[in-house]
């Protein structure tokens, strides 16, 4: 990968730009519009939003106003955890499309799996939600369908109950939380892993190991984190509302991490999550 617009091939035959721009916690409409417009100007070609981020209108408008052709930009949104089940998820997809003001989404994800804590029949609930995504793909509303925050148990159960396997699993992934079981399962099943919070919500910026790697390459810790994900074949989705940081996070194609850097980062593993654990997540359809 040499630039943000270079693409990974997905299992369904579609292609996805290798660096995404995350929009979690950018809910102010003006800031969201400006951030996405800046990201597109800076060369990002992949924007990641979700119904729960409450910025789909601004994201869609920035995409439409960008002057780029629609086919150059990859837009992902997600069905929120309160919308499990076929009917609710179908309506949620239509509502996201309407808010985005787009004819289609490049990708739609199930934001969180139904889990055993919330549903006695979580396997059936996930399968039912997934059917809505399969139907949206068949109807041309969505080009690629995937999941987010699915662990191996959720993926295995879906595998037994679906027509199309998810092409993507978007998980929390950063130094300290590399989720090796989920990543290995995805790799062996041709599911592309995307990394949310690839720089650990900025809480890794003072880490001594990452600082020494960054110093060695003349790059920042944020750049080392984004590059690390890519080096592992994982698609990073860094978020920033600051144009200079957006540019910095995309300026990662002029250096390579070596085997000792990778080993040092793997050695930081401690299963440290900054977000929720998918089996502890407490959202439930009303």
What are the catalytic residues? 53
Residue 91, token pair as written in the block:
């309506």
Q: Using CB under 6 A, which of 20, 60, 146, 238 touches ligand A2P?
A: 238
Q: Shortest gap between Cβ of 210 and ligand A2P (angstroms)?
A: 12
Window 193-212: contact mask with ligand A2P (x via CB under 6 A): ----xxxxxx--x-------
H-state helical runs in the chain = 29-41, 56-65, 86-100, 122-138, 152-159, 180-188, 208-217, 221-231, 243-250, 259-266
Is 261 a binding residue for ligand A2P by CB under 6 A? The answer is no
* CB atoms inside a 10 Å sphere around CB 277: 13
Is the Cβ of residue 129 or residue 197 nearer to ligand A2P in the bound state?
A: 197
Window 14-43: contact mask with ligand A2P (x via CB under 6 A): --------x---------------------
Q: Exposed e or buried b for every residue in 226-261, given b needs 16+ CB within 10 A? A: bbbbbbbebbbbbbbeeeebbbbbbbbeeeebeeeb
Q: Using CB under 6 A, which of 249, 252, 278, 281 touches ligand A2P?
A: 249
Residue 90, token pair as written in the block:
């179908």
Q: Using CB under 6 A, which of 209, 241, 243, 285 touches ligand A2P?
A: 241
Binding part of the chain for ligand A2P, among 2-10, 13-21, 185-193, 238-246 by CB under 6 A, reads 238-246
Residue 20, token pair as written in the block:
């995404």
Is the Cβ of residue 86 or residue 253 nearer to ligand A2P in the bound state?
A: 253
The answer to whether the beta carbons of residues 11 and 165 sit under 8 Å apart is yes
Give CA separation, 126 vs 4, 81, 154, 168, 173, in Å. Answer: 32, 10, 8, 15, 22
- Angle subtended by helix axes 208-217 and 259-266, to nearest 10: 170
Binding part of the chain for ligand A2P, among 78-86, 127-135, 141-149, 237-245 by CB under 6 A, reads 237-245
Window 158-197: contact mask with ligand A2P (x via CB under 6 A): ---------------------------------------x
Window 212-231: contact mask with ligand A2P (x via CB under 6 A): --------x-x---------
Binding part of the chain for ligand A2P, among 68-76, 94-102, 159-167, 245-253 by CB under 6 A, reads 245-253
Is the Cβ of residue 98 or residue 242 nearer to ligand A2P in the bound state?
A: 242
Residue 40, token pair as written in the block:
């597109």
Residue 180, token pair as written in the block:
């090796």
Is residue 270 classed exposed, middle or buried when 0-12, 13-18 and 19+ CB atoms within 10 A define those classes?
A: exposed
Q: Using CB under 6 A, which of 248, 257, 261, 278 touches ligand A2P?
A: 248
The residue count for binding ligand A2P (CB under 6 A) is: 18
Q: Shortest gap between Cβ of 154 and ligand A2P (angstroms)?
A: 22
The answer to whether the beta carbons of residues 58 and 36 sit under 8 Å apart is yes
Is 129 a binding residue for ligand A2P by CB under 6 A? The answer is no
In this structure, the chain runs to a length of 286
- Residues in contact with ligand A2P by the rule CB under 6 A: 22, 197-202, 205, 220, 222, 238-242, 245, 248-249
């Amino acid at each position: 990968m040499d630039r943000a617009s270079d693409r990974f091939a997905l299992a369904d035959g579609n292609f996805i730009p290798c660096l995404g721009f995350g929009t979690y916690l950018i809910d102010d409409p003006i800031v969201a519009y400006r951030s996405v417009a800046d990201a597109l100007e800076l060369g990002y070609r992949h924007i990641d939003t979700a119904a729960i981020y409450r910025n789909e209108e601004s994201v869609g408008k920035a995409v439409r106003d960008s002057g780029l052709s629609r086919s150059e930009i990859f837009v992902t949104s997600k069905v929120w955890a309160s919308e499990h089940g076929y009917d609710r998820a179908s309506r949620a997809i239509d509502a996201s499309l309407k808010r985005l003001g787009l004819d289609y989404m490049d990708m739609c994800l199930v934001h969180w799996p139904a889990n055993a804590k919330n549903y006695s029949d979580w396997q059936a609930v996930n399968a039912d939600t997934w059917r809505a995504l399969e139907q949206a793909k068949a109807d041309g509303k969505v080009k690629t369908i995937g999941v987010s925050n699915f662990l191996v148990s959720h993926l295995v159960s879906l595998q037994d109950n679906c027509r199309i396997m998810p092409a993507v699993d978007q998980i929390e992934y950063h130094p300290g939380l590399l989720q090796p079981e989920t990543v290995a399962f995805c790799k062996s099943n041709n599911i592309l892993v995307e990394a949310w919070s690839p720089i650990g919500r900025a809480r890794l910026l003072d880490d001594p190991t990452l600082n020494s790697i960054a110093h060695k390459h003349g790059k920042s810790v944020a750049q080392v984190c984004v590059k690390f994900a890519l080096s592992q074949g994982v698609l990073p989705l860094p978020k920033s509302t600051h144009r200079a940081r957006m540019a910095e996070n995309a300026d990662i194609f002029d250096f390579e991490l070596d085997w000792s850097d990778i080993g040092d980062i793997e050695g930081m593993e401690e299963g440290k999550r900054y977000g929720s654990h998918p089996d502890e997540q407490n959202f439930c359809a009303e």
